[in-house]
Amino acid sequence: MLLNMKNSFKQWLKFEAKYIHYDIYYGIRNLIRWFPVIFRDSSFGGHDTFEILKTKLEFLMKDSLKSDLFADTKRDGERMKLSIRLIEKIQAEYYGMEYISDEEWSNADESYFDNWFLNRQIGHMSYIKKYPLIYKRIISNPSKAPYGIDSPNSVALSIGQINENRARKLLFKILEEHIQGWGN
């Protein structure tokens, strides 16, 4: 037993000890890099989980693009960037709120608010026209519409929810197919 420990210690000195300063450096660097993310983590739902995943992908992308060791590094970097953008859009609920256009509110004058209900209906119709295939799918099978098809507002909400789900599925499909090769 003592001989095994002595041999193990000798092997550690020979192979591992000369790299201990790298381990200490990278350990401290990781603590510094991750501290803000962990500090903000409130453990309330998916937003924080997505934030941790997004941060990990950002660090991984920077490190892999900087080292450029593999032939597919650039393509992997693009996939990571796409994943980060999808996470940001999911966190911001972009697709769920897309039908409420910022341009519509920023360019609005008083006459817009006088006819608010009519203008909202027109705005929803232009949003619905933006996604004709999803609209056809919802109209042909109303059970696929999470908010129903009673009004243009509910159809727009349903399209937004479907797009949100599609973005989430795409994100996890990219991660499922490629994350094992990232960082190796």
Residues 12-58 pLDDT 10s: 777 777 788 888 898 999 899 989 888 887 777 778 889 989 999 99
Whole-angstrom distance, CA of residue 9 vs CA of residue 3: 10
Q: Map residue 116 onto helix, strand or coil.
A: helix
- Find the farthest-apart pair of alpha carbons in the chain and give their distance in angstroms, rounded: 89
State the pLDDT at residue 7: 75
CA 7 to chain centroid, in Å, comes to 48
User: For residues 33 and 3, which has the higher predicted lDDT (pLDDT)?
Assistant: 33
pTM: 0.73
Where exactly are the structural domains of the chain?
A: 41-181
Higher pLDDT, 155 or 100: 155
Counting Cβ atoms within 10 Å, is residue 158 exposed (0-12), middle (13-18) or buried (19+)?
buried
Measured CA angle at 178 (ends 184, 71), to 5 deg:
55
CA distance 159 to 121: 15
